[in-house]
Chain A
């Protein structure tokens, strides 16, 4: 189970319409997050479950969220 910081960042993604799919059978990848923009939206974010610094991974995830122009499913 990833650190609480990572889970909190994933929760923030879901709260604004991103879809989070847990991966299975992988040693490092924990989840894949899809933006609300659909097939033409942002590339998915691959989230590792064992980052060196969980706070930094959470910041990177939030960075992807803030740079996403498709929040709420709208095109830029």
Chain B
């Protein structure tokens, strides 16, 4: 079993009753392995789930969150800030800043997925692959697998949502395409 870190994006409103219901559902399953960050605007449910593979981890999480009454709109891989990169790579935050600036390491550090004045967010899968290529660490295979699973499951969620809006006679055509 591996541990997979990912966020499920949920539509608003998310109520305290739904959060409590999720607590019930997770407790009855393998135990509470999620934290909700959401309100009337929606938000996310952060998971670190043990499973045989990333697809199993994410689809079972979607099932649990949906059963609690929340509507899952997407899944995001583990995004990290520079301090987390330093922690995971077991280096100082200053070392990461040098890598970012290209002043140390081979250059070409991955671009942030979410750019901010401070605390920009990076794909841990991309960063761990860069660390491995630069011989500064090992690839986090779970992170790379999670990133690939997120792409596939997001596509499936898009198809599922789109199917609702399609005329009934067009739905089999889409089902045939993805089968």
**Chain A interfacial positions (CB closer than 8 Å to B):** 23, 26-29, 32, 42-48, 50-53, 56-57, 59-61, 63-64, 66-69, 71, 76
Partner of B32, one of A32, A44, A50, A61: A50
B33 at the interface (CB under 8 A from A): yes
Q: Is the interface of A mostly helix, strand, loop or mixed?
A: mixed
Query: Assuming A28-B32, A29-B20, A56-B33, is B81 touching A43 (CB within 8 A)?
Result: no
Q: What residues of A have a CB within 8 angstroms of the CB of B37 in the complex? A: 42-46, 64
- Residues of chain A lying within 8 A (CB to CB) of residue B48: 53, 56, 59-60
Known pairs A27-B20, A43-B39; A53 contacts B116 (CB<8 A): no
Q: Is B176 an interface residue (CB 8 A)?
A: no
Per CB-CB distance, the 3 closest pairs between chain A and chain B, nearest first, are A28-B23, A52-B31, A43-B43
Main secondary structure of the interface of B (DSSP, over half): mixed
Contacts of B43 in A (CB 8 A): 43
Query: Does B119 have its Cβ within 8 Å of any Cβ on chain A?
Result: yes
A-B contact pairs, 24 of them (CB 8 A): A27-B23, A28-B19, A28-B20, A28-B32, A32-B16, A43-B37, A43-B42, A44-B37, A44-B38, A45-B36, A46-B16, A46-B19, A47-B35, A51-B33, A52-B31, A60-B35, A60-B48, A61-B35, A64-B37, A66-B80, A66-B119, A67-B79, A67-B119, A67-B121
Q: Is the CB of A29 within 8 A of B46?
A: no
